Amino acid sequence: MFSRDWVYENFRAYYRSPRYEFPSPQSFSQREYAFLLFKERAMVRHKSFHSSAALVSSLRERIPSDVYHSCAYYENPDADMDKKGWSGADLVFDIDADHIPTSCNKLHDEWKCGNPACLVAGGMSGRGITPEECPACGGVKFETKTWACEECIDTTRTETRKLLDMLTNDFGFSEHEIHTYFSGHRGYHIHVENNSVRSLDTMARKEIVDYVCGIGLDMFDKKRRDSAKQKRKTSTPVFALGDYGWKRRLKNGMRTYILNSAKEGLIELGVSKKGADVLFKNKQAIVNRCIEEGRWDTVKGVGFETWMRIAEHVKDQEIAQIDTVVTSDIHRLIRANGTLHGKTGLLKAEFPVKDLDTFDPFVGAVAFKEGTAHVLVSDAPEFKLSGETFGPYKNQRVELPTAAAVLLILKGRAEVQN
C-alpha cells in the first residue's frame, strides 16, 4: 500500500500542477466522462462538464488512476444510458499488443486463472496472450502480468500504419479528420471525426470492421470458379484485381510477395516443390503475365491452389488487427487524451499522423520528468524510458527516475523503499 500511495502522490502532483491543461475533444460538453478512482478502485460514470477548466478541477479533486470520455455525443451526457439521447459517435479504433501474437509475448507476458476452484487445484497458468477461457476449468477471469517493450510497440505501429492507409486511400478520409494517439500502454488509438461517420449505427460500423479485417473477402469470381470446378479445371482461378480497395491491396501484396519470395518460404506456405521452383525461377515474368495482365492460367505448374494459398497469405498480411468490439460499440468509453494510464503512468498522447514512424512513446508520453526514488525491483526486463536504458533487474535495490519507478510499481514489479 505504501508504494501505491507513493504513486498516488505523483499522480496528484501531476494533475495539480499549474501547468496541467486538458486537451479538449470535439463537442466537449456533449461527451460523457468517467473516472476510475485511484484509491477506491471504483468507476464513477455519467459525468458531464461545460468546460475543460471544470473537468481539470474535478481531476484535481478526485485524483483518478484513469480518465475516459465517450466516443458518442449525447443530448444529456450525465443522464442514465436510456435517457442520454444519442446523437452520433466518432469512429474509433484500438490497436493493442494484448490481442496481437508477437515473439516477445511469451518472454514478458504471464497469465494465471483467477477461478478460486482452479487456484485450489494448483492454478492454471501460462505465458503469452491470455486465453479467452481457462484450458483447465473454462473460467474467464485471469490475473495477468504484461509488459510493453519496443517490439510490442513496433508491432502495433505496423498495424496502425496499415489501418491509416485504409482510412486515407480506401475510405477517403483526410489527415486532418484523423487523430492518432499512443494509448499510454501497449498500442495506439485512432479517432475519425467526420460528419459522414458520426451517425453510423452498430451494423454499419461492423461493416467497416469486416473491411479492415478482411472478413468475408472473396478473392475470386465465384461463378467462374464454380464453372471451372465443374469442368474439372483447377488452373483457371479468376482474380478481380484492380487499382482500388482490397483489389489494389491484393494486387500490390501478391506482386511484392512473389518478387521477394524464397523457395523455402513458398514451400512452407504449402506450394508444391514444383510450383515453388517455377515461381522462384521466373518471378518477374510471372508477375508481368499473371498479376499485371491477369493471365492466371498461363504458367505450367502454378494452378488454382497455389494462387489461393498466396492470396490468402497476402490477405492475412494486409489486414489491420484491431479490437473489433471497440469500433462497433457506439457507446464506447475511450481513454482521454492527455491523461495518465493507471497501468504505466505514461500519457495517452496525440501526435500528427505523419509522425507515426518517428514518435517514440517512451519519450513523448513520459509525464514524470523530475525526481528519483529508491525501489526494490523483484523482476524487470531491460527497458528504455526518456532516452535512458534500465535493467534488467532481479531482486535488486536501485535508484530510478520517478517515471521508471512509477512504471515498475504499477506493473507489480517493484516496491518503494522507505
User: Model pTM?
Assistant: 0.90
Distance (Å, whole) CA 271 – CA 307: 9
Distance (Å, whole) CA 271 – CA 261: 12
Rg (CA), the chain: 25
Is the same domain home to 91 and 193?
yes
Query: What are φ and ψ of residue 411, in 5° steps?
Result: -85, 5
Q: Please check whether residue 276 is in contact with residue 266, taking contact to mean a CB–CB distance below 8 angstroms.
A: yes
- Does residue 336 lie within any of the structural domains? yes
Amino acid at 85: G
Complete DSSP assignment for 344-368: TSPBPEEE-GGGTTT--HHHHT---
Handedness of CA 265, 266, 267, 268 (dihedral sign): positive
pLDDT in tens, 294-307: 888 888 888 888 88
- Does residue 150 lie within any of the structural domains? no
CA 281 to chain centre: 39
Q: Please check whether residue 72 is in contact with residue 169, taking contact to mean a CB–CB distance below 8 angstroms.
A: no
pLDDT in tens, 205-244: 999 999 999 998 877 655 555 555 555 554 454 677 878 8
Burial class of residue 252 (count of CB atoms within 10 Å of its CB; 0-12, 13-18, 19+): middle
Is the same domain home to 18 and 51?
yes
Q: In what order do the strands lie in the sheet with 125-127?
A: 125-127, 110-113, 142-145
pLDDT in tens, 347-402: 999 999 999 999 999 999 999 999 999 999 999 999 999 999 999 999 999 999 99
Domain that holds residue 122: 110-145
- Does residue 24 lie within any of the structural domains? yes
Is the same domain home to 292 and 407?
no
Q: What is the mean pLDDT of residues 266-285?
A: 93
Number of domains forming the structure of the chain: 4
- Does residue 151 lie within any of the structural domains? no
Average pLDDT of the chain to the nearest whole number: 91
Predicted confidence at residue 324, as pLDDT, reads: 96
Is the same domain home to 138 and 261?
no
- Does residue 235 lie within any of the structural domains? yes
Is the same domain home to 61 and 163?
yes
Stretch among 33-37, 99-103, 189-193, 235-239 having the lowest mean pLDDT: 235-239
Distances (CA, A) of 71 to 7, 34, 184, 330: 29, 12, 18, 7
